[in-house]
Amino acid sequence: MPEMKADPCLKEAITLFLQELADVRLASIHTVAAYRRDLSQFMDQCGESTALSAITRTQIQDWLVSSHASGLAVSTLARRLSAVSSFFDAAVNAEWCKTNIAAGVRPPKQPKRLPRTLPPEQTSVLMGKTDRSSELRDLALLAVMYGCGLRVSEVVGLDLVDVDLHQFELRVFGKGRKERIVPLPEGAVQYVQGYLAERMSGDEEQALFLNNRGKRLSVRSVQRMLKERALQTGADVSVTPHRLRHSFATDLLAGGVDLRAIQELLGHASLATTERYTHLDIAKLTEVYDQTHPRAKKN
């Protein structure tokens, strides 16, 4: 951090912190903009001319409480607290203040949300025939994404060499470039074979799925394709790549597949992440029980 007198005012310190974030840490413009917004809100709460040593932990807590009372989402509060904590960490390292008063402050707990899934019949509708010029590619992509439970970033990141149609396998690079091998369903293999027979040969483009210019397909293009396809086929327009991934997991769980096997297929680092699907499956079972069991509605 740049040299500055000890115990500067809040505005000076935040200005230099944002400069370091952009010029030294090389944070993206979006990250810097987000930090600037959050720290500006904090400065409004405490006063821009307030010395760092005069700011208290209680002020941070009061700021979060008032932000929560104004209707801000818990995720927004957590992001704001993270920005303030990062700022005070940097201030301590620069010897502008002695301690990070934001350390240990906790935002309100985020409610646990169950993953949203797409019913199997909706997936079938989504795979219905359309007159799209990219029909073969779209069907192959959908079959791979749903059939293997891939993240959208993983499916667009697939290269030709990652696909083994003889062994019915895919090599996938997940978060942190962690590699895993996943089985490729027979139906997906057929769709991929049909697509590859017609796939344009990009000059040196090794991506499996190409756009109409012969370049690697983007995440945004896949998201847009799903929405357009849902409109054309009459499928649920709230479909997203991640909902297809959730559907893959819950369908496997409902079919009796072991939770650790599902963890491996999804590329989850922690089993706790995969265990969300057990809650969803129990919720489904409860709904079916309430609707069909003869004693469900009896006291």
Question: Domains of the chain, with CATH numbers?
Answer: 10-93 (1.10.150.130), 120-292 (1.10.443.10)
| Higher per-residue confidence, 119 vs 112 | 119
Q: Is 242 a catalytic residue?
A: yes
Alpha-carbon span 196 to 13, nearest angstrom:
57
Q: What is the pLDDT of residue 278?
A: 63
C-beta separation of 104 from 61 below 8 A: no
Specify the DSSP class assigned to residue 237. Answer: T
Q: Is 260 a catalytic residue?
A: no
Q: What is the pLDDT of residue 286?
A: 52
| Candidate list 137, 229, 246, 268, residue with the active-site label | 268
Q: What is the pLDDT of residue 115?
A: 58
Q: What is the mean pLDDT of residues 214-237?
A: 91
Q: What is the pLDDT of residue 285?
A: 47
Pairing outcome for strands 179-183 and 169-173: antiparallel
pTM comes to 0.56
C-beta separation of 59 from 67 below 8 A: no
Q: Is 268 a catalytic residue?
A: yes
| Candidate list 80, 137, 151, 216, residue with the active-site label | 151
Length of the chain: 299
Residue 61's closest CA among 42, 33, 86?
A: 42
Q: What is the mean pLDDT of residues 207-230?
A: 92
| Candidate list 37, 175, 215, 279, residue with the active-site label | 175
| Candidate list 242, 260, 279, 293, residue with the active-site label | 242
| pLDDT over 90 percentage in the chain | 41
First to last CA, the chain: 68
Res. 88: pLDDT tops 70: yes
Q: Sign of dihedral through CA atoms 233, 235, 239, 242?
A: negative
Res. 131: pLDDT tops 60: yes
| Higher per-residue confidence, 255 vs 211 | 211
Q: What is the pLDDT of residue 224?
A: 93
Out of 49-63, 166-180, 247-261, 270-284, which region has the weakest mean confidence (pLDDT)? Answer: 270-284
Q: Is 98 a catalytic residue?
A: no
Q: Average pLDDT of the chain?
A: 84
Q: What is the pLDDT of residue 6?
A: 67
Q: Is 277 a catalytic residue?
A: yes
